[in-house]
Amino acid sequence: MPGERTLKIAFLAVTPENTRGMHMKIQLSVLLLTAVLPLAAQTSKPIVIAHRGASGYLPEHTLPAKALAYGMGVDYLEQDISLSKDNIPVLLHDLQVDAVSDVAERFPDRKRENGRYYAIDFTLAELKQLAMSERFNYRTGQQTHPARFPKGQSRFSIVTLEEELQFIQGLNKSMQRTVGIYPEIKAATWHRQQGRDVSRIVVEILTRYGYTTKADPVFVQSFEFSELKRIREELGYQGRLILLLGDKKGSDGTDYAYFKTPAGLAEAAKIVDGIGPSLHHIATGQTKATLTITDLVRDAHALHLKVHPYTARADDLPPYASSLEEMLEVFFRQVKVDGMFADHPDRLVKFLQGQ
């Protein structure tokens, strides 16, 4: 990405000791920055993050779902990352592959004792044989969101992280845009228990593809604070990091109740650039009249943390909103979050254009 490279050169240029030289270089830097800024994905304007692609319309994490979201004008595309048996990062929301593919029919004898099929037990060559599909209940076979793309229809394949990055960078070239990436390292602690270091592998790939600094169009997310700390301190990753917040505790022991307090947020802010809370951590209530806004966004903003909540779904609304747009009013007009994950990103793009 030529834009980001120029930006880094510009920053390097403002640090010499010679003041006269520095003055000229600052002028040059300003010129470079002016030229580069329109390409940068991050602005103060709220960002639209396509949750697993345009997953409300096409099977999650497939390239067609990413292409559709790209065409809808999103700012970032999300990647959930697990490892294959041969240590290739692949895009999967779950550690198991049995709720989004035909693995149970194709490899019936490869399930674990709990009856589930784990991506890490299959080589990439095997995973590539699977027909990926719209998400369903692996026990009953019933499609999770009935109004979405029909389960089992057409043909979709699993995507590796590298295939996805090449795809997005290719589109960025042909479309003359800079759409960013939003990779989530899934279950780092679990991967470690399986003898794998998923973060090290992912950071190496992100570095190779030019996603290395806070000026690059990337946010790396995890539910595990200890892993984000390790990514920053041990692996030395300098790109932006987002701490995802759940309801109880992370598998590494991350105490989400603590990280929602001002003290916890202050500790997080030493490592990460923002938080990814659930919608109900910000707004609660059974009706519009009883809608309550928590202090979380205010407290996070006081520490200059970005807030990107998950997940806007047109077919799964919170009880206080009668439409997706009504919910977006709360989050973008009342609370003023910095972006949001969306299954139907076209609706969010359209809403923000009208703001």
Q: How far apart are CA 148 and CA 151, in angstroms?
A: 8
- CB environment 139-163: b (16+ within 10 A), e (fewer): eeeebebeebbebeeeebebbbbee
Which of residues 80 and 98 has its CB atom nearest to Ca ion in the complex? 80
| Other beta carbons within 10 Å of 194 | 14
Which of residues 107 and 219 has its CB atom nearest to Ca ion in the complex? 219
Annotation marks residue 308 as catalytic? no
In the complex, minimum distance from the CB of residue 77 to Ca ion, in angstroms, rounded to a whole number: 11
Residue of 51, 191, 281, 308 with catalytic role: 51
184 binds Ca ion (CB under 5 A): yes
333 CB-near residues (< 8 Å, 6+ apart): 355
Q: How many residues bind Ca ion (CB under 5 A)?
A: 2
In the complex, minimum distance from the CB of residue 183 to Ca ion, in angstroms, rounded to a whole number: 9
Residue of 23, 61, 93, 281 with catalytic role: 93
In the complex, minimum distance from the CB of residue 173 to Ca ion, in angstroms, rounded to a whole number: 26
Which of residues 75 and 184 has its CB atom nearest to Ca ion in the complex? 184
Stretch that binds Ca ion, among 181-189, 250-258, 270-278, 316-324 (CB under 5 A): 181-189
Binding-residue pattern over the window 14 to 43 for Ca ion, x denoting contact by CB under 5 A: ------------------------------
Q: How far apart are CA 82 and CA 23, in angstroms?
A: 48
Helix (H) or strand (E) holding 219: strand 219-222
Annotation marks residue 61 as catalytic? no
Window 261-300: residues binding Ca ion (CB under 5 A): none
**Overall size of the chain counted in residues:** 355
In the complex, minimum distance from the CB of residue 92 to Ca ion, in angstroms, rounded to a whole number: 10
- In terms of Cβ atoms closer than 10 Å to its own Cβ (0-12, 13-18, 19+), residue 323 is exposed
Which of residues 36 and 282 has its CB atom nearest to Ca ion in the complex? 282
Which of residues 260 and 308 has its CB atom nearest to Ca ion in the complex? 308
In the complex, minimum distance from the CB of residue 122 to Ca ion, in angstroms, rounded to a whole number: 21
In the complex, minimum distance from the CB of residue 169 to Ca ion, in angstroms, rounded to a whole number: 21
Window 78-107: residues binding Ca ion (CB under 5 A): 80
Distances (CA, A) of 4 to 33, 35, 193, 286: 10, 11, 36, 45
346 with 55: CB under 8 angstroms?
Answer: no
Q: 311 preceded by cis ω (within 30°)?
A: yes
Which of residues 36 and 187 has its CB atom nearest to Ca ion in the complex? 187
Distances (CA, A) of 281 to 9, 242, 244, 305, 306: 40, 16, 11, 16, 15
Stretch that binds Ca ion, among 3-11, 13-21, 139-147, 184-192 (CB under 5 A): 184-192
Window 315-354: residues binding Ca ion (CB under 5 A): none
Would you say the C-alpha torsion 278, 283, 287, 288 has a positive or negative sign? negative
Which residues of this protein are in contact with Ca ion, per CB under 5 A? 80, 184
Catalytic amino acids? 51, 93
